[in-house]
Amino acid sequence: MGVPFEALIPYGIIVGMFGVTGVGLTAVKYLSNDGKKARWNRDLWDRNMMERDQRITGAFRAQSGNAEAPKGFEVSNPWKLEKRIF
């Protein structure tokens, strides 16, 4: 006895929705990273360099090849203060 074709329609819908979600997630990651592949396995150094690049260029994934920092960068200090409790 064969499987009726009506039973395959829900499975096709489920597989199609998994495909739509995968493509949608990939598109959102791609667009949120300025058209570049998503970064993975970032450590503290990478996060600090990404923050510095954002302060220099104004964009999260952009980099600058200028030898001099833009005007106003000298007061753009990334250091955070620690709260000391005495």
Residue 28: its pLDDT value, please?
A: 93
The pTM assigned to this predicted structure is 0.58
| 44 plus 24 within the same structural domain | no
| Domain range enclosing 51 | 40-64
Q: Report the number of distinct structural domains present in the chain.
A: 2
Instruction: Report the C-alpha gap between 44 and 52 in whole angstroms.
Output: 12
State both tokens at 56.
């220099």
pLDDT exceeds 70 at position 81: no
Give me the chain's average pLDDT, please: 83
Strands, E, within the chain: which ranges?
none
Instruction: Report the C-alpha gap between 67 and 24 in whole angstroms.
Output: 39
pLDDT-based confidence at residue 15 (cuts at 50, 70, 90): very high
pLDDT-based confidence at residue 76 (cuts at 50, 70, 90): low
pLDDT exceeds 80 at position 22: yes
Residue 7: its pLDDT value, please?
A: 84
H or E stretch at 25? helix 8-32
| 2 plus 27 within the same structural domain | yes
Q: Is residue 24 part of a domain?
A: yes
| 5 plus 26 within the same structural domain | yes
State both tokens at 77.
């200090």
Instruction: Report the C-alpha gap between 48 and 79 in whole angstroms.
Output: 10
| 21 plus 45 within the same structural domain | no
Determine the average pLDDT of the residues in 34-59.
85
